[in-house]
């Protein structure tokens, strides 16, 4: 059983270029599934077993998105077993993922992000200064958090004002950054020199406690929350990914070319980028609802 899972993960890594985070999620889901099916041989697993698994997921109060991800993982795994001729039929056939409500991405206003950056800049400690620079880089370039934490020191071309990003599936893209952020990075590099001292570390955002040698996603998440609280912004609305959404939303509101935004975000499909146009539309709806005289309640006209 473990061998099959390992082979599946190897195939996803080598053939599809799956990220370490994706592979870790696949492994968790497959180990969970194998425990629930009590080690039943894969060729004996049928549609009823998958249905029972789906019922267990529903009864455990998993969100529709989580259930959808787990079912998709199991489906991909059995497709792999068929391709390797380990089984002859796919027990996930006729099993449908739950319908997902496509909510609009959350985003912060430019003023809120400025508050976070100003608060971080006013703190002279390396850890907080590092968070501030990471926020500016993410907001000015639309980086994914996994891409941000794994930037190397030479990822940024100071002269060309560009960042070389290694994105999903080991695909590279180049994103421009403005002079203000370049200036912030140069100042931060002086803090970084003092922090690493004589130690060898080529990560742009090094860490002394992380096994990876750089700040982790969780480390950035927690640091960002703390700075948000100090800036007077509710931590409940501040997440690393919100900075990426804020970048895209700001450009859409400024009428930037959608194809250009797609390239900067590293989206394969333009439809993924188009969701940010819906944010702008929703903003217009809210404006009309709040300010148009026919939308006001009686007595408030």
Which residue in the list 241, 259, 278, 283 is annotated as catalytic? 241
pLDDT in tens, 122-160: 888 999 999 999 999 999 999 999 899 999 999 999 899
Tokens 């903003």 -> residue: 283
* CB atoms near residue 30 (< 10 Å): 22
CA atoms within 13 A on the CB side of 27: 15
Task: Say whether 241 is catalytic.
Answer: yes
Task: Say whether 139 is catalytic.
Answer: no
Q: Is the per-residue pLDDT at 120 higher than 70? A: yes
CA angle 217, 54, 70 (to 5 degrees): 25
Please state which of the ranges 104-118, 183-197, 198-212, 277-291 shows the lowest mean pLDDT. Answer: 277-291
Which residue in the list 192, 244, 245, 250 is annotated as catalytic? 244
Q: What is the pLDDT of residue 290?
A: 66
Mean pLDDT, the chain, as a whole number? 85
Task: Say whether 225 is catalytic.
Answer: no
Q: Is the per-residue pLDDT at 271 higher than 70? A: yes
Which residue in the list 75, 114, 166, 168 is annotated as catalytic? 168
pLDDT in tens, 194-244: 999 988 999 999 998 888 899 999 999 999 999 999 999 998 889 888 899
The CATH number of domain 2-83, selected from 1.10.150, 1.10.10, 1.20.120, 3.40.1000: 1.10.150
Task: Say whether 244 is catalytic.
Answer: yes
Percent pLDDT > 90 in the chain is 35
Task: Say whether 214 is catalytic.
Answer: no
Residue 49 burial (10 A CB sphere; 0-12, 13-18, 19+): middle
Specify the CATH number of the domain 111-288. Answer: 1.10.443.10
Q: What is the pLDDT of residue 292?
A: 57
Which residue in the list 70, 136, 144, 192 is annotated as catalytic? 144
- Do residues 219 and 153 make contact, with C-beta atoms less than 8 angstroms apart? no
Parse the chain into domains and list their residue ranges. 2-83, 111-288
Whole-model pTM: value is 0.64
């Amino acid at each position: 059983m473990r061998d099959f899972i390992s082979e599946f993960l190897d195939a996803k890594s080598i053939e599809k270029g799956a990220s370490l985070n994706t592979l870790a999620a696949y492994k968790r889901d497959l180990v969970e599934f194998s425990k629930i099916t009590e080690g039943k041989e894969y060729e004996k697993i049928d549609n009823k077993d998958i249905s029972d698994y789906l019922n267990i997921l529903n009864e455990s109060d998993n969100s529709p998105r989580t259930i959808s991800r787990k079912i998709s993982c199991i489906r991909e795994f059995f497709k792999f077993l068929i391709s390797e001729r380990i089984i002859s039929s796919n027990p996930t056939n006729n099993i449908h993922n739950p319908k997902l409500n496509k909510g609009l991405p959350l985003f912060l206003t430019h003023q809120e992000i400025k508050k976070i950056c100003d608060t971080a800049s006013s703190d002279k400690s390396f850890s907080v200064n590092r968070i501030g620079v990471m926020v500016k880089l993410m907001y000015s370039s639309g980086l994914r958090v996994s891409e941000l934490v794994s930037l190397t020191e030479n990822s940024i071309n100071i002269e060309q004002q560009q960042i070389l990003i290694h994105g999903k599936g080991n695909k590279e893209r180049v994103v421009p950054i403005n002079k203000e952020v370049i200036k912030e990075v140069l100042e931060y590099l002086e803090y970084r020199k003092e922090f690493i001292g004589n130690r060898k570390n080529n990560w742009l955002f090094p860490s002394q406690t992380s096994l990876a040698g750089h700040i982790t996603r969780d480390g950035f998440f927690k640091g960002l929350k703390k700075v948000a609280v100090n800036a007077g912004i509710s931590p409940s609305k501040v997440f690393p990914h919100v900075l990426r959404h804020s970048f895209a939303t700001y450009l859409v509101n400024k009428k930037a070319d959608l194809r250009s935004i797609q390239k900067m975000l590293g989206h394969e499909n333009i439809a993924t980028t188009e969701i940010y146009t819906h944010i702008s539309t929703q903003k217009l709806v809210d404006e009309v609802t709040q300010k148009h005289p026919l939308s006001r309640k009686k007595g408030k006209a």
